[in-house]
Structure 1
Amino acid sequence: MKERTRHPDPSDAPSSRSKAGRDLKSAIGVGVGLGALTLLCMLVFPILWYPLVAFFLGLGMWEVCTRLRDKGFVIPRALIIVIGEAMIWASWPFGAKGLVAAYVLGVLALMYGRLFRHGTHSAPHNYVRDTAVGLFVLTWIPMFGAFAAMISRIDADGATPRGSLYIVTFMLCVVASDVGGYVAGVLFGKHPMAPAVSPKKSWEGFVGSLVGGIVVGTLCVTLLLHHLWWMGPILGVLLVVCATLGDLVESQFKRELGIKDMSNLLPGHGGVMDRLDGMLPAAMVTWLILTIIHSTGAV
């Protein structure tokens, strides 16, 4: 009997894709570039932190609104981006009060704009659905993201502003959480955390994130901020929990829209929101804890 010739399978070829399904070479290259840009803004030109955050949040809003419009949602993309940027920049001089004021004005603009989209003689269709989704986008991206920008303003009125130290603390904790979760998930991940939402996220990865966040949070609070060590584990745990829930929210968002990535803007990562999903809610709780640390004074 003639032996059947086996044709090569493309999947047999060496691949740079990781167990998580990403192109590691591209992902690492883009990650290093983004990290270098962030460090430049944090340490060399700290005044650029706000523009950097505003720029990436603007891209995130564009991605999400575009995806929603592709699926039939009536979303005023330009208006949402304008409102979102106004929220971010209002927090520069006015802090949380400016952020909330801009958010409320944006909510009114969305509610009334959607109500009269077709004039006063034509009833809107899917009004509640589209308005609710618009409010979700404003809350999810610019509301949470503005707290990342405001971390740089925590000590803005001090004799020696230490905003860069707070930003470094936030970013190092985020990186430690991501790396710890990735390594533990790839090496030991066997028990899915929420398989109906994100099948690849495991409890082992969550534990790895906790370890990374707690260790780095403790080191940063102790060595950089010179505060009581036990504030570090609190910061690490809350940041990791919020980041994990943020990942799950985006996973469910993409699942309902039937998409894998928000866009292809970042090779090896997907879209901007595929990188910011966990950082946004984590930024809010980090701002809160670091504000408490600052208000209680250094030890």
Structure 2
Amino acid sequence: MTDIDPLLDPTGRIEPVRQAIVGGRSLWDDARARLFRNKAAVISMWILGVIVIIAVFGPMVWVNDYKEISDLRTIAPTIEGWHILGTDIQGRDLLARLMIGLRISLMVGVVATAVSLVIGVTWGATAGYLGGRIDNFMMRIVDVLYALPFIFFVILLLTVFERNIVLIFAAIGAIEWLTMARIVRGQTLAIKGKEFIEAARASGVSRRAIILRHILPNVIGPVAVYVTLTIPVVILAESFLSFLGLGVNEPLTSLGVLISEGAKTMGEKPWMLLAPALTMAVTLLCLNFIGDGLRDALDPKER
């Protein structure tokens, strides 16, 4: 293409247009632009970023340790001793425990979601692509696991083995992958008959390579959306277990443990419940807004 004479383009508008036409924009560029136009999602990302920074670095720099026991038991929020949110029944600083509890809850959400992502995507993509009897057999296993009550499965694991945070990760992730597998299987069934899959198969590409190079990259959109919506579900599941006394062991804590402890004294000392409950509500709202923004940005109908 020949250069454009500046005299014919005194406004300087033609050249940027020509460059845009030549360069083009990918689908991911369009999705990113739509995501950043979603004000709720952008604000939620900033707030969630601040929450993550507080959870990671807060316990390291705060003046009070979350394990330190004192005689100042269940005092109201005060500047004295930097007990800004007060103390619990054992005299431990509530702000320090809130930050470490936020860290544990986020860790459970991220790790358990990662476990469900790896198992669910692999299982669903394999079942959907192979089809036939293998697909039927693999999905019947999913149906059987779906029939088991979630809380019964977790209590069984925690009863047989000792209660620890790693087991909580495994127990929650071992349940949440079931929905992920169904979503990926459905997406795989929709695209495995496409022309590019047939071309790869005709050229001698192995099944494993087709799944890894062609199937999985094309299901990443729905999977990314579901991941952002799974993290809040996992955090709530861990909080529910902690509320029942099946969560993390002392001196560690989580948002669910803090809410459970605060609920016992909410009549006389409401601040012990309000702080962890408000923190959880804001975190879950941010994750849901980000998930909704990703869903809208990656919607093929909007491209």
Structure ranking higher on relative contact order (CA contacts 8 Å, 6+ apart): 2
- Normalising TM by the smaller chain, what interval? 0.3 to 0.5
Superposition TM-score, scaled by structure 1 size: 0.34
TM-score, reference length from structure 2: 0.34
